[in-house]
Amino acid sequence: MNVIVNESPVEIAENSTVEQLLNHLDKPLKGCALAVNQSIISRSKWSEYKLREGDQISLFQAIAGG
Amino acid sequence: MLSDAEMLRYSRHLLLEDVGELGQKDLKDGKVLIIGMGGLGSPAAMYLAGAGVGSLVLSDFDCLEVSNLQRQIGYQTGDIGADKVELMKHRLEMINPEIRVRSINVEMDEAQLLMELMMVNLVLDCTDNMDSRQMINAACVKAKVPLIVGAAIRLEGQLMFFDNRQADSACYHCLFPNSEEQTLNCSNSGVLGPVVGTIGTMQALEAIKHIVGLPSGVKNRLKLFDGKTLDWQTFVINKDPNCTVCGQNR
């Protein structure tokens, strides 16, 4: 199935979890937060949250500056 | 009752249906702790002073450096080397002598912060590092004090509001649980002054709205600001029941 990650299409296996998507992307995830369709998914839910066709995933880093 | 001098000073607030004399009295009774007097804290503190927030507590332990002046608009070149909180306290008293300003010129530990939280009804996190952000969040959750968080780097900004008086409020730790991870700050990544100023200004706007009782658009929300496109993205932050700071098993 296809999902959108930060505006780019990504093809992943049916019923993939957030964690499986992140493993597939092979991106450094330090200090990152993740949202599916504009709703933040807590890190403690990444291993169980199942993605669906067309989901819009936003990955962004914590910023600390001020 | 507002004095004649206050009626004149705040006349542009009194014209607003959303503020008016009652809102101005709420602002006068407002007690806000602003932690960090850098690029976020400069505009936030100056706007709240101008607006007549009656009691402002400023916290920072840095001296002004020349590299701060590109974005920290409360200071001047001749101030280099002086303590930021003392400079800003003086600046705010010049802007508005009707308010009380107190400065805390040390790095607060949790015990001192919890004591300070007993004396305010709102906190603005304007700090520049993750350890401080996590400590401030945990203390505000424990003390049930509302917290407005701002952050900026490069051309990006983040804004959040956690109303810790409400049991269903999420917290900063629900969003960013791992504080030991390397995060971006102004000294390792750079930042544009108007970007960090925009976020600090938004923190002041949300603070004023909170104090006068207007609904907020950022409670349990994360707003991401893109300084390149000027787009704002909004995300819902769900309370994490497993959060070690605000969750059920804390």
Query: Mean of the pLDDT values across residues B100-113?
Result: 97
Give the one of B127, B186, B236 whose C-beta lies nearest to A38's C-beta: B236
Average per-residue pLDDT for chain B = 95
For residue B190, give how far its alpha carbon lies from the nearest alpha carbon of chain A (Å).
Answer: 9
For residue range A28-64, list pLDDT tens digits in order. 677 789 999 999 999 989 999 999 999 999 998 889 9
Q: What is the pLDDT of residue B233?
A: 96
B67 Cβ contact partners less than 8 Å away, ≥ 6 residues apart: none
pLDDT at A31: 77
Model confidence at B217, in pLDDT bands (50, 70, 90)?
A: confident
pLDDT attached to residue A61: 87
pLDDT tens figures, B231-245: 999 999 999 999 999
Judged against a pLDDT cut of 70, whether residue B184 lies above it is answered with no
- Is the pLDDT assigned to residue B187 strictly greater than 80? no
State yes or no: pLDDT of B49 exceeds 60.
Answer: yes
Establish if B234 touches chain A: CB-CB under 8 angstroms.
Answer: yes
Instruction: Report the CATH superfamily, name and number, of domain B4-236.
Output: NAD(P)-binding Rossmann-like Domain (3.40.50.720)
Closest CA to B207 of B59, B52, B48: B48
Task: Note which residues in 121-140 of chain B have CB less than 8 A from chain A.
Answer: 125-130, 133
Question: Is ipTM over 0.85?
Answer: yes
Q: pLDDT at position A27, please? A: 75
Q: Which residue of chain B has the CA closest to A57?
A: B235
Contact B25, B2 (CB under 8 A): yes
B181 pLDDT higher than 60: no
Q: How high is the pLDDT of residue B182? A: 60
Confidence at residue B178, expressed as pLDDT on a 0 to 100 scale = 73
Which residue ranges form the domains of chain A, and what is each CATH number? 2-61 (3.10.20.30)
Residue of B133, B224, B236 lying closest to A39 (CB–CB): B236
What B75-81 contacts at long range (C-beta under 8 Å, 24+ apart), as own/partner pairs, is B75/B42
- % pLDDT > 70, chain B: 96
The model's pTM is 0.95
Read off the pLDDT band of B180 (50, 70, 90): low
